[in-house]
Structure 1
Amino acid sequence: MYVLLLLLLGISRYKAQKNVQLTDGLYAAIVNSFSNRNIMFSAEMIRSSMLFIYVGVEEGESEQIRKALHYQGTHLSDYKPEAQKIFDMSAQTAPVAKSLTRFYVRQNLKMSTEYRVFMRHTEGRARNIAFNREKLNEVNTLYSHEMGEHIGQVVKESWWKPNSQALLINAVFFNLSWERTFNPEATYPREFRVSAARKVMIPMMHEDSKFAFGNLATLKASAVLVPFSQGDLQMLLIKPDQPHALAQLQMKLSGMDIVSVARNLTMMDVFVGIPKFKLHSDLELTPALEKMGIKDIFKPSKSFSTLLHRNTNFRIDGVIHVVSFEFQEQGIGTPITDVGNGSLTHTFNGVKYFLATHPFAFYIIDHTSIFFAGHVTSF
């Protein structure tokens, strides 16, 4: 019966993605849950990872996940996230992005044969494990080996507890240079206004060139597109006019066609300033998922009969999503691209300014898809 369930349970491509909107609630839940942290995440990779749990639970819990994440369709083989495009790209011999998903279940809780059949339809893996320090080091070593040391520590000790029953872990590394390297000589300190009461000096990269830019009057914000060196990929940065208004801006953006916002920008002379720093975004997503109505999987219950060989009380202790990205002059990838002008060397008529000197949102997109989203709020 459960084999039939798995075969019929397939999930087709997320339909709302055709409009490149963030209306499903996941974006809003994440940015609200981590409003005071610099974050970056892939909504599609989170959905893809959550399949590991979705197919292992019975109707009540699975319905919570289905409604919140908009799973639909007839065949598992139908599900291929739009984000897969970015993982298929490569810059010379290096991949543009890597993703690794693992589902760890307590050693003495044997997974069912039916559930292991599902595992053959996924790129991630599920395995039984002891939640001790030795295995924690082994898991972090695995991620470092598979994705490179730049990914940093993926699993914190505070998540890996001796009494844990299950952890779902997805890590993503984005590895690509800008189309035009920011001139290192034009990186210098600027004030970043974290809040009305707090300002800090941070290194800021600068470039004056032609960028797609727009003042978004209805959003009370401005936006600029900074292109990457491959695959029509671009970073869309959107900054509210007022330093304290990012949360309100993101609520509006959660119901908008983000790619359309980028498409309506105009090429013009723009002086751009972006903070220089490494972003290691490690998110434990339980609070965000609970805001979306996915609650019961985090409580002990006997609803995991498809996942487990024996029906017993079971819970998910954490859903972890880690993304690493560097806001550096050249980006991350090699080779280094042509170096830009840096600071203004002459006066443009009607030059526009986009200085990310207070909290802002960003998206990595192409002409049809959103691959990553995030925000920078503090230093």
Structure 2
Amino acid sequence: MYVLLLILLGISRYRAHKNSQLPDGFYAAIVNSFSNRNIMFSTEMIRSSMLFIYVGVEEGESEQIRNAMHYRGTHLSDYKPKTQKIFVMSAQKAPVAKSVTRFYVRLNMKMSTEYRVFMRHTEGRARNIAFVREKLDEVNTFYSHEMGEQIGQVVKESCWKPNNQGLLINAVFFNLSWARTFNSEATYPREFRVNAARSVMIPMMHEDRRSPNALIKPDQPDGLAALQMSLQAMNILSVARNLTMMDVFVGIPKFKIHSDLELSPAFEKMGIKDIFKPSKSFSTLLHRNTNFQIDGVIHVVTFEFQEQGIGTPSTDVGNLNYLQKPER
């Protein structure tokens, strides 16, 4: 399971590097900040959601974010024509991925008219809110309604504190189907090695066929840490382009991952520090020049790996081939 997630992280890192939108250090900062956890994240959606903060801040704080996120514009007006394109990630009928971003600002801190106008041009929203338990339930219910119950709990009570001033929340789930799905009748329990000392019995999906393959795995049962380090320098797409046709018997576990990350430690590693301290630099965001700080940046990804693919699309049962986007 962990190996699969590492591969996904590697793809995310490579695409960010290829597009020259994010530095290699972004991937490493997130992975190193959560080295003891199975994690999953979308660098592109993190970058897009951080725009909500960037366009509301001035002075040194703005420069820190611009350098780390590789934003090209320096003013709020630089992004108005492109914001809808930035935040839309789904096809009309069958979304490959859905992302919902909300920026919650303390109730008694009025946002500027300029900033509110900017928000009208985006798929995300900023709103004033009281950081009380009743509103936490409201926020989690909102995400469940927008994204489906599979998204789970997006905001934990430990992040929703009465003295919060600003909380940025981005949630993502993916919905991709296999070109040929696994046969559910070939799913049965098998032993899965968790580490060198522990094994568990879990449902495994199976497939016996000839297909293009490449194997990325640890050399030892406790070799995941070393594999993770090697993936940071690996060109995943190059591996994918040089697959070898082989007769293989595939056994893949069914699982669901709910990865919730509070990213401020990773951002601080990248040099984005001052927005998490009280300052008067949020002069574009707020109606009045007052002390303000970001109390958290939450990124949640739900990922369900099963016979139909990733998510719960409607597909015919058949044989595993590869992941494809739903037809538009």
Q: TM-score, structure 1 length as denominator?
A: 0.73
Residue 89 of structure 1 corresponds to 91
Q: Secondary structure at the match of 2:191?
A: strand
Residue 19 of structure 1 corresponds to 18
CA drift of 1:107 comes to 0.1
Residue 314 of structure 2 corresponds to 335
Q: Secondary structure at the match of 2:146?
A: helix
Task: For 1:161 and 1:94, locate their aligned partners in 2 and report how far apart those are by CA, in whole Å.
Answer: 36
CA drift of 1:26 comes to 1.9
Residue 189 of structure 1 corresponds to 189
Task: For 2:23 and 2:190, locate their aligned partners in 1 and report how far apart those are by CA, in whole Å.
Answer: 35
Q: Secondary structure at the match of 2:297?
A: strand
The 5 Å alignment of 1:1-379 reads 17=16, 19=18, 23-73=23-73, 75-76=78-79, 77-78=81-82, 84=88, 87-89=89-91, 93-214=93-214, 222=215, 238-331=216-309, 332-340=311-319
Q: Secondary structure at the match of 2:177?
A: coil
Contact 1:44 / 1:81 at 8 angstroms: preserved in 2? no
Give the AA of the match of 1:213.
Answer: N
Q: Secondary structure at the match of 1:39?
A: coil
CA drift of 1:124 comes to 0.4
Q: Cα–Cα, structure 1 residues 329 and 23, in superposed 2: closer, same or farther, change >3 Å?
A: same
Q: Secondary structure at the match of 1:239?
A: coil
CA drift of 1:161 comes to 1.0
Task: For 1:16 and 1:204, locate their aligned partners in 2 and report how far apart those are by CA, in whole Å.
Answer: 30
Question: Per residue, is there more strand in 1 or in 2?
Answer: 1
Aligned length in residues: 305
Q: Secondary structure at the match of 2:178?
A: coil
Q: Cα–Cα, structure 1 residues 25 and 244, in superposed 2: closer, same or farther, change >3 Å?
A: farther
CA drift of 1:105 comes to 0.2
Contact 2:16 / 2:23 at 8 angstroms: preserved in 1? no
Could you give the per-residue CA deviations for residues 16-46 of structure 1, whole angstroms, max 9, x where no partner exists? 7472687532222222222332222111000
Task: For 2:220 and 2:86, locate their aligned partners in 1 and report how far apart those are by CA, in whole Å.
Answer: 33
Q: Secondary structure at the match of 2:160?
A: coil
Q: CA RMSD in A?
A: 2.8
CA drift of 1:64 comes to 1.4
Task: For 1:20 and 1:110, locate their aligned partners in 2 and report how far apart those are by CA, in whole Å.
Answer: 37
Could you give the per-residue CA deviations for residues 306-351 of structure 1, whole angstroms, max 9, x where no partner exists? 211112221111111111121111223332323238xxxxxxxxxx
Give the AA of the match of 1:111.
Answer: M
Residue 369 of structure 1 corresponds to none
Task: For 1:338 and 1:20, locate their aligned partners in 2 and report how far apart those are by CA, in whole Å.
Answer: 36
CA drift of 1:78 comes to 4.7
Task: For 1:307 and 1:60, locate their aligned partners in 2 and report how far apart those are by CA, in whole Å.
Answer: 15
Task: For 1:16 and 1:323, locate their aligned partners in 2 and report how far apart those are by CA, in whole Å.
Answer: 18
Task: For 2:283 and 2:86, locate their aligned partners in 1 and report how far apart those are by CA, in whole Å.
Answer: 31
Could you give the per-residue CA deviations for residues 128-177 of structure 1, whole angstroms, max 9, x where no partner exists? 00001111111111111111112111111111111111110111121232
Deviating more after overlay: 240-249 vs 268-277 = 240-249
Give the AA of the match of 1:26.
Answer: F
Task: For 1:123 and 1:295, locate their aligned partners in 2 and report how far apart those are by CA, in whole Å.
Answer: 27
Q: Cα–Cα, structure 1 residues 285 and 78, in superposed 2: closer, same or farther, change >3 Å?
A: same
Deviating more after overlay: 101-110 vs 251-260 = 251-260
Q: Cα–Cα, structure 1 residues 257 and 365, in superposed 2: closer, same or farther, change >3 Å?
A: farther
Q: Secondary structure at the match of 2:45?
A: helix
Task: For 1:52 and 1:82, locate their aligned partners in 2 and report how far apart those are by CA, in whole Å.
Answer: 12
Q: Cα–Cα, structure 1 residues 245 and 296, in superposed 2: closer, same or farther, change >3 Å?
A: farther
Residue 6 of structure 2 corresponds to none
CA drift of 1:193 comes to 2.9
Identity %: 75
Question: Per residue, is there more helix in 1 or in 2?
Answer: 2
Task: For 2:227 and 2:65, locate their aligned partners in 1 and report how far apart those are by CA, in whole Å.
Answer: 27
Task: For 1:244 and 1:80, locate their aligned partners in 2 and report how far apart those are by CA, in whole Å.
Answer: 45
Q: Cα–Cα, structure 1 residues 45 and 160, in superposed 2: closer, same or farther, change >3 Å?
A: same
Contact 2:84 / 2:122 at 8 angstroms: preserved in 1? no
Contact 1:166 / 1:316 at 8 angstroms: preserved in 2? yes
Contact 1:186 / 1:206 at 8 angstroms: preserved in 2? yes
Give the AA of the match of 1:153.
Answer: Q
Task: For 1:319 and 1:194, locate their aligned partners in 2 and report how far apart those are by CA, in whole Å.
Answer: 30
